[in-house]
Amino acid sequence: QSALTQPASVSGSPGQSITISCTGTSRDVGGYNYVSWYQQHPGKAPKLMISEVSNRPSGVSNRFSGSKSGNTASLTISGLQAEDEADYYCSSYTSSSIKFGGGTRLTVL
């Protein structure tokens, strides 16, 4: 059960936009619209940011958006703010289990 592939790190300046990719296969990301994204600050529990590829839960800033093309899903954060600095994880349903990405550390310069 190998993890989904995410870049280890991304960075951006305040106000800029960044995109984090999440690459899987046709058996997970590409096969279902069950991709979600989580934000995790150090020492805290993960927080849902995007569900089912592109749905934003209430209370999550509209600066966060999700999309998918083929076997790769993406999380875009626009108008970067200092509080966005955190680890981000994608996840996908796959044959009776859930698979996470390895995580991406976002640094706001």
Partner 1 sequence: EVQLVESGGGLVQPGGSLRLSCAASGFTFSSYWMHWVRQAPGRGLVWVSRMNRDGSSTNYADSVKGRFTISRDNAKNTLYLHMNSLRAEDTAVYYCARENWGNYFFDYWGQGTLVTVSS
Chain residues that interact with partner 1, rule: CB under 8 A: 1, 3, 32, 34, 36, 38, 40, 45-48, 51-52, 57, 87, 89, 91-93, 96-103
Question: Is residue 83 helix, strand or coil?
Answer: helix
Taking the complex as a whole, how short is the minimal distance between the CB of residue 69 and partner 1, in angstroms? Answer: 19
Q: 45 near 89, Cβ under 8 Å?
A: no
Taking the complex as a whole, how short is the minimal distance between the CB of residue 96 and partner 1, in angstroms? Answer: 5
- Closer residue to partner 1 in complex, CB, 5/72: 5
- Closer residue to partner 1 in complex, CB, 1/13: 1
* Separation of alpha carbons 84 and 26, rounded Å: 30
DSSP symbol at 84? G
* Separation of alpha carbons 6 and 2, rounded Å: 12
